[in-house]
Structure 1
């Protein structure tokens, strides 16, 4: 279920291009008030016009200046929002360490088999360079090789589906048990509180 947006949170900042599109839309509406705009086509035309404007162009710079002004506005409002106790970052959902691991794709299984060898042959390579080389090797791999890893991927996927079904069943059982315990504990706590109150209540004359 999507989280409800805080109405007090500052509006996101706009880019120079976003201001340009907004201006184009207003301009088009003035010239053609009754024409229905096809958004995808209109966006393509705006992008083409924006690219055609050189960075030194006065018109383009106007929108860039507007974006910079909006950036300063956004940063100022976000600071004030944070001081007031607003959340500035989305909370990440805590991952359950007991949850089954997602299955790897054929490509990732292929990389796992060849990464150590490639790293040993090229000790000076960065992670990015190794990833790029593995991508090239996968691109030229034979259909038989790709099928081998695709089959492994299907086995992992099938195993994951079974493990997830078992994991979810355990979670539901655990949640049901917790809810049941809470129902039992609440009346007991209420009864205990009532008993305590009656014991401490002063006797009437």
Structure 2
């Protein structure tokens, strides 16, 4: 049965992968972490992203078809990362809030 198809890259990631080398050339000695930061700045500044958005949309369509095919051939979501619903998480109690309520009670005594 083969592996589950990988999720497609976003328009930004497609663009960044293609422009990573030119970012390195324009910024000699740039750190790996700074490449993505600089890439993000350049991406936000771009006016026309249609080329990349179209490529990403095409990849998403191909992914959707591949997933349907995968599931039709008996593939399941087992082993795939599953997102938990916010409802599933226990509510967090804010210690700050508890402290202030306790302080108020002490002050009013």
TM above 0.5, yes or no, is yes
Unaligned regions of 5+ residues in structure 1, if any?
1-5, 93-101, 111-143, 150-205
Structure holding more helix per residue: 1
**Distance of 2:91 and 2:45 partners within structure 1:** 45
Aligned to 2:41: 48
Report the CA distance between 1:39 and its aligned residue.
2.1
Match of 1:62, SS state, is helix
Measured after TM superposition, the shift of residue 22 of structure 1 is 0.5
CA contact (8 A) 1:78 1:88 kept: no
* Match of residue 68 from structure 1: 57
CA positional deviation for 1:85: 1.0
Q: Runs ≥4 in structure 1, deviation > 6 angstroms?
A: none
3-state SS in 1 of match to 2:53: helix
| Structure 2 residue ranges without an equivalent (≥5) | 83-89, 104-109
Aligned with 1:13: secondary structure?
coil
What is the Cα-based RMSD across aligned positions, in Å?
3.4
Matches within 5 A, 1:112-123: none
Tell me the matched-pair count.
Answer: 94
Aligned-pair distance for 1:36? 6.1
1:131-184 superposed Cα distances (whole Å, 9 cap, x missing partner): xxxxxxxxxxxxx625x29xxxxxxxxxxxxxxxxxxxxxxxxxxxxxxxxxxx
For 2:21 and 2:73, the matched residues in 1 are separated by 36
Residue 91 of structure 1: how far off its partner (Å): 8.4
Q: Secondary structure at the match of 2:4?
A: coil
Offset at residue 66 of structure 1 (A): 0.6
Higher RCO (CA 8 Å, separation ≥ 6 residues): 2
Counterpart Cα distance in 2 of 1:72 and 1:28: 29
Q: Deviations over 1:76-122 (max 9, x none)?
A: 10001101111136587xxxxxxxxx685236x76xxxxxxxxxxxx
Paired position in structure 2 for 1:25: 20
Could you state the TM-score of these two structures normalised by the residue count of structure 2? 0.66
d(CA) in 2 for partners of 1:8, 1:22: 24
